Amino acid sequence: MRTLVTGGAGFIGSHVVDALRFEGHQVSVVDNLVTGSRSNLPAGVNLIEVDIRDQEAVTAAFEDLRPSVVFHLAAQTLVATSASDPFRDAQINVLGTLNVLRAAVAVGAGKFVFASSGGTVYGNAQQQPVPETHPLDPISPYGVSKVAGEHYVRVLCGHAGMSATILRFGNVYGPRDIPESHHVITVFLDALLNGEHPVIEWDGEQAKDYVYVGDVADAHVCAITAGDGEAFNIGSGREVTVNEILRLVSAEMGISITPLHRERRAADVRRFLLDCSKADRMLGWTPTTSFAEGLRQTVRYYRQQAQTRRRHALTLR
C-alpha cells in the first residue's frame, strides 16, 4: 500500500515510517527538515522537502506520490511557542493541515490519520483517566489548533467520503527526540549528558501519561484498517510525576545531581491520565512497552548519540 507521512523525518513520524515499512507498506515522506532529519530515515524512503504551509508544493507532492493512506504528523508542537506566536502556530497547524487535507482529497486517498494531542485538547480535565467523550477545552493556542485540526479532518473527510481516524497522544518519549522539543525526559537526558543541572518547572509533582514512541507508531499501523470516523487516546494508562522521572533517569544514567527549579510553564496542566480502553476495543491497540523498558531504550540511544559526537569531535582535532 502507498502511504505518505507528513513530518516523517521527525521524532514520532520517523518511527511511524519504520513501523509501516516493517509491515511491508511503501512509504514516502513530506518534511521541511526544520526539526526533522534525513538521518532519521532508512535508505530507500522517498523524501520530498516541503513545508506544509506551501499549498502549491504540497499539492504537487501529493499528485506525484498519490498515496492511498495519509498520516499527518507535521506540526508546530511547542505550547510555549504557540502562546508567544499563535499566528504562526495556526499557519502550520490549521492552514497547513487544510493544505494536506485538500491535497489528500484531490488525489483520492482512501484514509487520513491525524496526529492530535491528548495532553492539550482536553485542557484541565475534570475526569481522570480522561475518556474521549470528555469535552475538548484547550487552554493553549496549540491545543486550540489541534482541536481545529480534528474538526477540519472530521468535516472535510466526511464531505469527501474519505475515512479518517484521529489519534490523541499522551506525552510521547523515546529515541530520536531532540532537546528543542522541551519534552522533559529528553531535556533531562541532555542536561545530564552535558554535566548540567536538570531543571524542574513547577514543583515537579505534576503527573502525566508518558507513552513510548514505538507504541505510538504501532497505533498508526492499526489505524489503517480500523477506527474509521473515531478519535482515540493513545497513552500508557499510567501517570508519572516529573520528580519521579528525574529520579529514574538519574538512576539509569548512574548520576546523582541536584536539579534547579523554575516557575510553572504557562498552560501546563497539573495532571492528565488517558483512558485508552477505546483504542483497545476498536483499534486492537494497547501499549506493550513498560515505562522502565522504554526509558532504558531511550537512555541507551542518547548515550550512543553522545559517544558518536565525542568520537567525531576527536577526529576533527
d(CA 220, CA 15): 10
Q: What is the pLDDT of residue 266?
A: 80
302 is catalytic: no
Give me the pLDDT at residue 316, please. 64
From the list 142, 152, 210, 302, the catalytic residue is 142
Examine residue 89 and state whether it is found in any structural domain, yes or no: yes
Q: What is the span of the domain harbouring residue 102? A: 2-173+212-237+269-288
Residue 112 lies in a domain: yes
Structural domain tally of the chain? 1
**Backbone angles phi and psi of 99, in degrees to 5:** -60, -45
Rounded distance between C-alpha atoms, residue 226 and residue 205, angstroms: 37
pTM check: above 0.75:
yes
The pLDDT of residue 154 is 98
Give the end-to-end CA distance of the chain in Å, rounded to a whole number: 48
At 189 the pLDDT is 96
Residue 58, pLDDT score:
98
Task: Answer yes or no: is 51 within a domain.
Answer: yes
Indicate whether 261 belongs to any domain. no
Q: Give a three-class secondary structure readout of 48-64.
A: EECCCCCHHHHHHHHHH
Residue 98 lies in a domain: yes
Q: Which pLDDT does position 267 carry in this prediction?
A: 81
In a domain, 198, yes or no: no
* Angle between helix 11-22 and 213-222 (nearest 10): 50
* pLDDT for the residue 125: 95
Q: Which three cell numbers stand for residue 264?
A: 510553572
Rounded average pLDDT per 10-residue block, the chain, 317 residues = 98 98 98 97 96 98 98 95 94 98 98 97 96 97 97 98 98 97 96 95 96 98 98 97 97 94 89 97 98 97 87 67
| Contact (CB, 8 A) for 123 and 79 | no
Q: What is the domain-level CATH number for residue 155? A: 3.40.50.720
Give pLDDT, residue 314.
67
Tell me if 186 is assigned to some domain: no
Task: Give the largest Cα separation in the chain, rounded.
Answer: 60
Examine residue 299 and state whether it is found in any structural domain, yes or no: no
Judging by DSSP bridges, how do beta strands 207-212 and 171-173 pair with one another?
parallel
HSE-CB at 246 with a 13 A cutoff on CA atoms is 24
Residue 189, C-alpha cell as written in the block: 537526558
Whole-number Å distance between alpha carbons of 154 and 127: 24
